Structure 1
Amino acid sequence: MVSVTQVQPQITLEEFLELPETKPASEYIEGKIEQKPMPPGEHSVLQGRLGTVINEVFLPKKLAYAFPELRCTFGGRSVVPDISVFTWDRIPKTEQGKIANRFEVHPDWVIEILSPEQSANQVIRKIIFCINQGTQLGWLIDPTDESVMIFQPNLFPEVKLGEEILPPLETLQDLQLSAKEMFSWLNFE
């Protein structure tokens, strides 16, 4: 028996950006379109709460903003991290000072939450790509073993769990959040 694999023709980044948005979002990586999985419950809770906590700490002082599911196009790719954090001075704005609709720069901090059907290595490759393009911090949150893998330029990844404090961006030290506290958000008892 012969199996036939359908070959998806490569398209350009510009062609990809002209396509209608999909739900869940699709990303453009190395000439291919990859659709993100639909987020399950744990993913959704962590994404919503973490974005809110980051914004509660940094938005009043206009230091940074956490964007959920924001398309960021840079380095020949178009990715949609679960949470993209931009320091205030790097948030793309229009000439009128309003938030731009297109973000054509790398985030300062990317946060990905691993879903059960996702490949950890595929998500790690996305975080490493962002780090290589100028992102200063990446978190890979794994709800299954309640750990967070931390990525920073020129450092080996490290894993935080339990009472260990999760490092924010170096310029945003006001956030004091442990892995245990973050994963406690999943308990609805």
Structure 2
Amino acid sequence: MTIAIPSSSLEEFLKLPYIDESPAWEYINGEALQKPMGGGKHSLLQKRLVAVIDAADSNYEAFPELRCSFGNRSVVVDVVIVASNQLPLDESGDLASTGIEFAPAWVIEILSPDQSQTKVTGNILYCLRNGTQLGWLIDPRERSVLVYQPNRLPDLLSGSEVLPVLEGIKLNLSVNDLFAWLQRR
């Protein structure tokens, strides 16, 4: 769904009271857009990715649905990986509740059935142009992952191919491993 907002400024968008209601709203190219709901496969992949990345021995933390506002966009990425020393804190030293105001080190998007691959790819590319080092676009229907890295063409990975991760994260995960999480136990 797309709505017109009173002003085409990111600052005014961020003041709107409903932007963090479920599903969250994003601000892209002067428009407020509500993300489609992900569904079961989306939720399970998101949950498992956050757990496995957080369990890896590293100086990074994974967050589901974290608002990232920088440049002229405010997006809510399915999984965001941020260096621990970059996490914003509030005045009491707790993790700030407003999200982050910089491009995260790594973004992971999981394509939902009703989601535009072009719009999701656009968000990943925007993040890469603003400092993100790695982006994954997971397509559960195709059982494949498009991997985006700065200054190179994307890679389409499937099957037993191992997914690249950020330097310093000890994680060895193939595309098959990722989609095996969707199987009934």
What displacement does 1:9 show? 4.8
Partner residue, 1:28: 27
The CA RMSD over aligned residues, in Å, is 1.6
1:126 match: secondary structure: helix
Determine which of 155, 159, 168 is the counterpart of 2:165: 168
1:48 match: secondary structure: helix
Distance in 1 between the 2:65 and 2:175 partners? 22
- Report the count of equivalent residues: 180
Distance in 1 between the 2:126 and 2:165 partners? 19
**Which is richer in strand?**
2
Deviations 1:91-125 (A, max 9, x none): 22235432122211111000000011111111000
Structure 1 residue runs of 5 or longer lacking an equivalent are 1-5
8 A contact 2:5–2:13 mirrored in 1: no
* Paired residue type of 1:47: Q
**TM superposition outliers: structure 1 runs of 4+ over 3 Å:** 94-97
Question: Pairwise mapping of residues 93-112 of structure 1 onto structure 2 (< 5 A)?
Answer: 93-94=89-90, 96-102=92-98, 103-112=100-109
8 A contact 2:5–2:32 mirrored in 1: no
Residue 114 (structure 1) aligned with residue 129 (structure 2): no
Q: TM-score, normalised by structure 2?
A: 0.92
Determine which of 140, 147, 152 is the counterpart of 2:149: 152
Over alpha carbons, which structure has the higher Rg?
Answer: 1
* Paired residue type of 1:53: V
Distance in 2 between the 1:109 and 1:153 partners? 11
Determine which of 160, 173, 178 is the counterpart of 1:177: 173
Q: TM-score, normalised by structure 1?
A: 0.90
Structure 2 residue runs of 5 or longer lacking an equivalent are none
Partner residue, 1:70: 66
1:47 match: secondary structure: helix
2:142 match: secondary structure: coil
**Percent sequence identity over aligned pairs:** 48
Determine which of 82, 85, 98 is the counterpart of 1:86: 82
What displacement does 1:33 show? 0.4
8 A contact 1:68–1:81 mirrored in 2: yes
